[in-house]
Amino acid sequence: MNAALAVLILGLLVALVLGLLARFGKTMTLEQWSTAGRSFGTLFVFLLSAGEIYTTFTFLGASGWAYGKGGPALYILWYGALAYVLSYWMLPAIWRYAKEKGLLSQSDFFVVKYQSRALGWLVFIVGIIAMVPYMVLQLKGLGSIVQIASYGSLSSAAAVWIGALAVVIYVYVSGVHGTAWTAVLKDTLVLVVVLFLGIYLPVHLYGGIGPMFHAIDAAKPGYLALPSKGMSVWWFISTVLLSALGFYTWPHAFQAVYTARDARVFRRNAALYPLYQLILLFVFFVGFAGILKIQPPLTGSAGDTSLLVLSVQTFPRWLVGIIGVAGMLCALVPGSLLVLTCATMIAKNGYRAIRPDATDDQVARLARYLVPVVALVAVYFTFRGGQTIVALLLMGYSLVTQFFPAIVFSLARRNPLTKQGAFFGILVGEIIVAYTTITNQTVAQLLPTFPQWVKDLNVGIVALVVNLVVAFAVSSVTRRPDVSADSAVRA
Amino acid sequence: MRAVRWLAVLPFLALIIGMFFANRTQPFVLGLPFILFWTVLWVVLTSAIMAVVCLTDPANRGGDA
C-alpha cells in the first residue's frame, strides 16, 4: 500500500466516525433526521449551505474551467456572490413559513403555499430528476479523485462503491446531523489545502501570482478575458443571473434552509458567504497555474483533473493523499445531503401523498430505508448512465431554476400567481429546458437571424421568460375576483 | 435607514453594466488581470455591503425576527 492510499483510507474512516458520532443525544424523529429539529446555529447552517460551494464541481470543475476555458470560469465567483445577496431577503421568509407550517421538504412548501397537490407532485418529480444526476456527478468525481490520488492502486469503480457505502451508513444513522459534522471536517481541510495549493503552485512554478498571469497573457493573449462571441459578456451575464436564481431552488439547498434555529442566521451568513467564497479564487489559481505547465496538455473534459494531475506532478505521495481526502469529502458531504433530501421527499411527498393515513413513524422509517435504495440508483447511473446522464447533468440547474418565479412571488403579501399559473409556468419552462438540452439547441439555432449578442445568451433565459409569461397569463385567466388563493378550488 | 438596503443593487449593476467595461486583461491590478481584479473587488464589496445592510436592519434587533 502506498502512502497516498493510506492517507485516503484514514480520511474516510475519520469522516465515517464523525458522521456516526453526530447521532448521539438525539431521538431520531423524521423532523430531527431531515431538518435537525430546526436547531442549527450560524456555523452549521453556514457549512451546510457552504457544502454547495465546495462540491466536486467546484473542486474539480472550477480549476478545470480556469485551465480549459480561462476567463469564462470567473462566472462561478459572481453567481455565488449575487445568490447570497438574494438570500438575505428570500431565506428568512422561506424559513419562517416552513417553521410555522412544519414543512420538511421543498415539495411541502409548494403544496401548502399554493394549496395544490398537483404542484407538489410536479416539483417533487422535477426535483428528483434534477438531483439524481447531481449525485452521479459527485460519485463520478469521487471515482476519478481517488483513482488519481491513490496513484491507481484503488480503481474508480471501487472508490464509488466504498464512498456510497460510507454515505449510506452515516446518513441512515445520523441524518442531517451526520452531514453537518462531516461538513466541518471537509471545509477545514479544503480551506487549508486550497490556500496552500493556490499560493504554492504559482510561486513554485512561475515565481508568483503576478508573473504567472503575465506569462499566460503573453503566451495566450486574450485567454484570461471573455471572447467577443460565444462565451461573450452577454453569455457571462445571462449565465451568472440564471445560476444565482437557481442557487437556492435546488431541493437539497432549500431543505437545508429549514435546519436553521432563527432567521437571523441567514442575514449574518449573507455577509460572510461572499468573502468565504473567495477561497475559490485560489482554486482558479491552481487551474491557471496548470495552463503552461501540465505536460502533455489535457484536452476536453480531462481538464477537470488538472488540479490533481498538477499535484501528482509536483508533490510527494502523502501530500497528494491529503489533497485527495479534501476532494473525496467534497463529493461525500454534498452527496449525503442529496441522498437525505431524495429519501425525505420520496417518503414524505411520494408515499405520504398516496397513503395519507400512514403514521409519522412509518414515514420516518421508510425515509431511512430509502437511503440505500437512492444510493444504489445513483451508483447504477454512475456506471451505466452513458450519454443520457450527461444531458441530464447539463439540465439540472436549468430545471430547478424554473421554480424561482413561483417561490419568490409566493413570498409577496399578495401573490400575483394562482396555483394553476405557477403549475403551467413551471411545466412549460421544464419542457423547454428538456427540449433545448436534449436536442442540444442554443439560442443561436433557435433564433438564427437575431444579432450576435442575443445568440450568446444562455438558453435557460428563454425557458425562464416563457415560464413567467405563461404563469402570468394563466393566473389572469384563473384568478376569480374576491376569492383568495387559499380558498380556491383544488387543482 | 431603510434606504441602505438599496446598496444591494450595486453588485448586480457591477455585473450587468460593469462587465462590459471590465472585460479586459490590461491594466493588471495587484498582479491580477483587470477582469479578475474587478471580480474579486466586487465579491469583497458585496460582503461589505451585506454587512452594512445587516447591521442597520431593524429586523435583526430583538425578538425572534
DSSP calls for A24-69: TT----HHHHHHGGG-B-HHHHHHHHHTTTSSHIIIIIIHHHHHHT
Assess if residue A177 is contained within a domain: yes
Q: Of A219, A236, A214, whose CA–CA distance to A227 is shortest? A: A236
A225:B57 CB<8 A: no
Assess if residue A173 is contained within a domain: yes
Assess if residue A470 is contained within a domain: no
Q: Is the dihedral of CA A465, A467, A472, A477 positive or negative?
A: positive
d(CA A310, CA A306): 6
Distances (CA, A) of A370 to A168, A171, A365, A382: 10, 11, 9, 18
pLDDT at residue A453, as a whole number:
82
Average pLDDT, chain A: 83
d(CA B18, CA B21): 5
User: What residue type is A411 in one-letter code?
Assistant: L
The DSSP secondary-structure symbol of A349 reads I
What CATH number is attached to the domain comprising A55?
1.20.1730.10
pLDDT over 50 at A487, yes or no: no
pLDDT over 80 at A306, yes or no: yes
**Contacts of residue B61 in chain A, CB cutoff 8 Å?**
none
Share of chain A above pLDDT 90, in %: 9
Assess if residue A61 is contained within a domain: yes
**Contacts of residue A198 in chain B, CB cutoff 8 Å?**
none
Assess if residue A375 is contained within a domain: yes
Distances (CA, A) of B43 to A80, A195, B28: 9, 17, 18
pLDDT over 50 at B47, yes or no: yes
Assess if residue A352 is contained within a domain: yes
Q: What is the DSSP code string of A204-243?
A: HHHSSHHHHHHHHHHHSTTTTS--SSSS-HHHHHHHHHHH
Residues pairing with B29 in the sheet: B32
Q: Please give the residue that has the higher pLDDT: either A177 or A27.
A: A177
Domain around A110: 3-385
> How many domains would you assign to chain A?
1
**Contacts of residue A267 in chain B, CB cutoff 8 Å?**
54, 57, 59-60
Q: Which of A40-49, A230-239, A261-270, B26-35 has the lowest mean pLDDT?
A: A40-49
Radius of gyration of chain A (CA): 22
Q: Please give the residue that has the higher pLDDT: either A207 or A55.
A: A207
Q: Over range B9-27, report the average pLDDT.
A: 85
Q: Over range A25-52, report the average pLDDT.
A: 71
Assess if residue A474 is contained within a domain: no
pLDDT at residue A370, as a whole number:
87
Assess if residue A422 is contained within a domain: no
Cell 433526521 -> residue: A33
Q: What is the DSSP code string of A326-347?
A: HHHHHHHHHHHHHHHHHHHHII
For A218, which residue in chain B has the nearest alpha carbon? B25
Distances (CA, A) of A66 to A69, A147, A275: 6, 22, 20
**Chain B contact probe: residue of A46, A65, A82 with most B CBs at under 10 A:** A82
